[in-house]
């Protein structure tokens, strides 16, 4: 807010100066007006072309047509997790194999076009069912994934191609058995500085006659995805209003984003029969620590730069 006020005051002062000095914005010439209108029309046309691309991409993704989907990606594609086009292709194939009925719905928030570059802000929801039943439960898992981010485009060979993307927010929930009836809360920061500690907390309303145990882990976003060791604990805290589990972790220092995962297992009161499982995943964007530039020899020695001599010459 303060920055905006300072900018506003600066702009107002600049405008007042222009008025008092008699500076006037010259009108556009006929040639300039002629080029201005087509530029705006061209931008709107390209936005419609991008909307068509998004519709086709959604259709092909939901049809699980991997060749068609990857055709929208540029060969030099790279996203903010460091994944290239080949990695995204393998991840997509693995995802469809795990969730053979997966469907995605994308809501476009904004499309921006600047020359040969385009940016899409969107909110995406993906649903699906696991291909296999969980052993011991006899039920398949239900997936609900929500994310927000940007797609970066560039015109190549007369067509728009995806050259990168960034995910700002992502929550994934997969539930089996009685866990489908629960609404667990997995709270954690969406962004932290590399090497800094943070906490993640898991809470849930537990029906009578059930006991919960859980674990919280973190792992760098990479492919193949590493499997961190789980430390399971029973979520029984008499002082808490509802079962909870909290863990303090440290963000990596390798400039990699992370996935935080909370797993909940529901058992009967005797703790001898598994009744349900919920797997909750959140994205954690890790901000790299900026390295300081090496100091010069003069700075190391504490040598100060000589001050310019003052000019006391009087003008008669």
d(CA 149, CA 315): 63
d(CA 169, CA 245): 22
Look up the pTM and report it: 0.78
| Per-residue confidence (pLDDT) for residue 15, from 0 to 100 | 41
Distance of CA 68 to the CA centre of its chain: 24
Lowest mean pLDDT across 80-94, 200-214, 299-313:
299-313
72 or 206, greater pLDDT: 72
- Distances in Å between the alpha carbon of 33 and those of 27, 29, 36, 168, 264? 9, 6, 5, 40, 64
**Hey, what are 95's tokens?**
């995802």
pLDDT-derived band of residue 240, with 50, 70 and 90 as boundaries? Answer: low
**Hey, what are 96's tokens?**
């469809």
Q: Is the pLDDT of residue 293 over 60?
A: yes
Cβ atoms 226, 219 nearer than 8 A: yes
Q: Please provide the average confidence, as pLDDT, over all residues in the chain.
A: 84
pLDDT-derived band of residue 42, with 50, 70 and 90 as boundaries? Answer: confident
Distance of CA 256 to the CA centre of its chain: 13
Domains of the chain (ranges; CATH) run 36-124+148-167 (3.10.450.50), 182-289 (2.60.40.730)
| Per-residue confidence (pLDDT) for residue 229, from 0 to 100 | 81
| Per-residue confidence (pLDDT) for residue 3, from 0 to 100 | 43
**Hey, what are 282's tokens?**
């959140």
d(CA 98, CA 83): 20
Lowest mean pLDDT across 95-104, 131-140, 158-167, 218-227:
218-227
């Amino acid at each position: 807010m303060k920055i905006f006020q300072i900018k506003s005051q600066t702009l107002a002062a600049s405008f007042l100066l222009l008025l008092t000095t008699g500076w006037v914005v010259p009108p556009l010439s006929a040639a300039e007006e002629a080029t201005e209108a087509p530029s705006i029309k061209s931008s709107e046309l390209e936005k419609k072309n991008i909307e068509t691309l998004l519709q086709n991409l959604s259709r092909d993704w939901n049809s699980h047509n991997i060749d068609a989907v990857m055709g929208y990606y540029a060969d030099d594609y790279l996203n903010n997790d460091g994944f290239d086009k080949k990695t995204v292709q393998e991840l997509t194939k693995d995802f469809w194999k795990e969730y053979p009925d997966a469907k995605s719905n994308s809501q476009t928030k904004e499309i921006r076009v600047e020359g040969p570059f385009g940016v899409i802000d969107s909110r995406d929801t993906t649903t699906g069912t696991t291909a296999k039943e969980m052993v011991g439960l006899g039920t398949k898992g239900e997936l609900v994934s929500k994310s927000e981010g940007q797609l970066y485009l560039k015109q190549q060979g007369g067509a728009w191609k995806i050259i990168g993307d960034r995910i700002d927010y992502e929550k994934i929930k997969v539930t089996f058995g009685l866990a489908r009836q629960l609404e667990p809360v997995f709270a954690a920061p969406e962004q932290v500085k590399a090497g800094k500690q943070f906490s993640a907390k898991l809470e849930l309303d537990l029906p009578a006659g059930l006991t919960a145990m859980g674990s919280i882990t973190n792992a760098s976003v990479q492919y193949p995805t590493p499997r961190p060791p789980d430390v399971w604990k029973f979520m029984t805290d008499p002082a808490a209003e509802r079962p909870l589990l909290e863990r303090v972790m440290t963000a990596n220092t390798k400039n990699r984003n992370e996935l935080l995962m909370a797993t909940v297992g529901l058992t009967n009161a005797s703790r001898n029969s598994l009744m349900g499982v919920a797997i909750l995943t959140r994205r954690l964007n890790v901000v790299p620590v900026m390295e300081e530039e090496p100091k010069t020899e003069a700075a190391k020695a504490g040598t100060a730069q000589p001050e310019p001599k003052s000019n006391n010459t009087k003008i008669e």
